[in-house]
Amino acid sequence: MKSGFRQSMAWLHTWSGLLVGWVLFAVFLTGTAAYLRPELTRWMRPELTASRPDPVQAALTAVTRLRALAPQSANWFIEVAGPREPVTTVFWRAPPAALGAAQGTAQGGRGFRQATLDPVSGATLDARDTRGGNFFYRFHFELYAMPVLWGRWIVSICGMFMLVAILSGIITHRRIFADFFTFRPSKGQRSWLDGHAVAAVLALPYHLMITYTGLTTLMVMTLPWGITAAYGPAGPPAFFADTAPFAPKRPAGQPAALADVAPMLAEAVQAWGGAPPGRITVNHPGDANASVVILSGPGAQVAEERTGMAFDGVTGARLAAWGTAGSAAAQTRGVMTGLHIGLFAGPMLRGLLLLSGLAGTVMVGTGCVLWSVKARQKAEKAGRKGFGLRLVDVLNVAGIAGLPLAMATFLWANRLLPLHLAGRADWEVKVFFGAWLLAVVHAALRPRPAAWTEQWGVAALLYALLPVLNALTTGRHLGRSLPDGDWGMAGMDLGFLAIGLGLGAVTLASRGWRFRLRPRAQGRAGALRA
């Protein structure tokens, strides 16, 4: 620990960022990609054509289709087509006696089946099996390659370190706002310091918000003691039962016809001032205790909790209604979660969130590089080099340049893997982790400057050629999507091209990255590459 308050904060800022820097870089980058989760999923299922369906009609069509697909199921779940998702996705819990899956449906875990429906006709759409944008979304808070709880705990702990690093960084930088207007290119380490400061200050409110709200989304797991104190042995299950707006009854075991859902939808939409339905759950269809829960779609409200209504599935009578007018604690948590997920954001605000997320990614990445540069300078002055410094260099290259490269291979795998390959979605994930592992091996075998340039260059090439690959393997290329006004597909292709050009510029710049030692007593020493 250093003497003096600011010196102590500088020490804390350095080590709280370094110890978890590579995980935070991955969390920031994949979390930023998750802002485009529906658009990425749409691009990765090019068989689905763009449409602007009526949500109410799409919901009714899905219920009708589920009556035929899963008449004996205990639960139906419907994600209604909307502005960012042109198809309806339905899930249902298959009865134990059910074997296999119907044509056009996919088998999930815990006995679930899934199907993608045309929102107008209700026909089952045959789209390629893929994790889509949901892979990046889940990776950014579960890390995907380990048990779910382990991943969430690791991300939560790293988020706590991130909050400490941000606050200590604010204290450390006396000229924090003046530094925002200072960037000196081609100045070696000084340029990296300027870039780190600009990326940090440019979206400082966002960095604080996204880190703190990310911690609140997992607070029931990381801070359970309040629930334990209030509920005792009953614990979280009793808490969630009390906070749930509606709890369905257990099945009665007596058959009863499911009521017409159209009047329920009409009542809900009218009560919400015309807001469309977004999610529908039918509990125990065909049973005397059936219920229908309708939630509104993502709207302009910031709070994540959606307005909802519950109806008796046999009589159609309203059983419950809820909205944003809950307790102060519930509203606060809903706003925190909503701010973090960003579903309320329109196209312009979503673009600002993307830029802020990229600024956070740059902030973390430059921080990791700066530490290694300073450590290398000290080692050079002392005339020693160690395994630890080499390990940090390898992790920097593979974590900062290798991750975007692996994300690109994930997208390439979506286009190149055989359409009917068994476990196709899992193979996309295997390609992602395989490419990332190769990036680690490559960084360990190649000299540091060459490793940076080569990995950035390969990533730039992969992204820039994605529109070409899309044109060669599908019919939804820019030559079709632009004239058709399919901005979901066209926007992703153009975005990949822009990423490729940006990484190409980084590749060229990386060839000239040099850091110079300036010992006080010796003047200028030899150049060190980043």
Please compute the mean of the pLDDT values over residues 475-484 and round it to a whole number: 88
**pLDDT given at position 110:** 54
Cα–Cα distance, 105 to 89 (Å, whole number): 10
The number of angstroms, rounded, from the C-alpha of 295 to the middle of its chain's C-alpha atoms is 22
- Return left, alpha or beta for 15; rule: phi > 0 is left, psi -120 to 50 is alpha, else beta: alpha
For the ranges 112-126, 234-248, 258-272, 515-529, the one whose mean pLDDT is highest = 258-272
pLDDT 10s digits, 178-192: 665 565 555 555 666
Cα–Cα distance, 337 to 333 (Å, whole number): 6
Residue 104 has pLDDT above 60, yes or no: no
More reliable by pLDDT, 266 or 486: 266
Amino acid letter, residue 278: G
**pLDDT given at position 404:** 97
- For the chain, what percent of residues have pLDDT higher than 90? 46
**pLDDT given at position 521:** 36
The alpha-carbon radius of gyration of the chain (Å, integer) is 26
Residue 518 has pLDDT above 50, yes or no: no
**β partners of residue 515:** 528
**β partners of residue 112:** 93
**pLDDT given at position 439:** 97
Contact (Cβ atoms closer than 8 angstroms) between residue 180 and residue 186: no
pLDDT 10s digits, 288-309: 999 999 998 877 677 777 788 9
Q: How far is CA 59 from CA 89, 106, 329, 468, in A?
A: 10, 20, 32, 36
Please name the residues in contact with 92: beta carbons below 8 A apart, sequence gap of 6 or more: 66, 69, 70, 73, 75, 76, 77, 112, 113
Please compute the mean of the pLDDT values over residues 24-48 and round it to a whole number: 93
pLDDT 10s digits, 402-419: 999 999 999 999 999 999
Residue 12 has pLDDT above 60, yes or no: yes
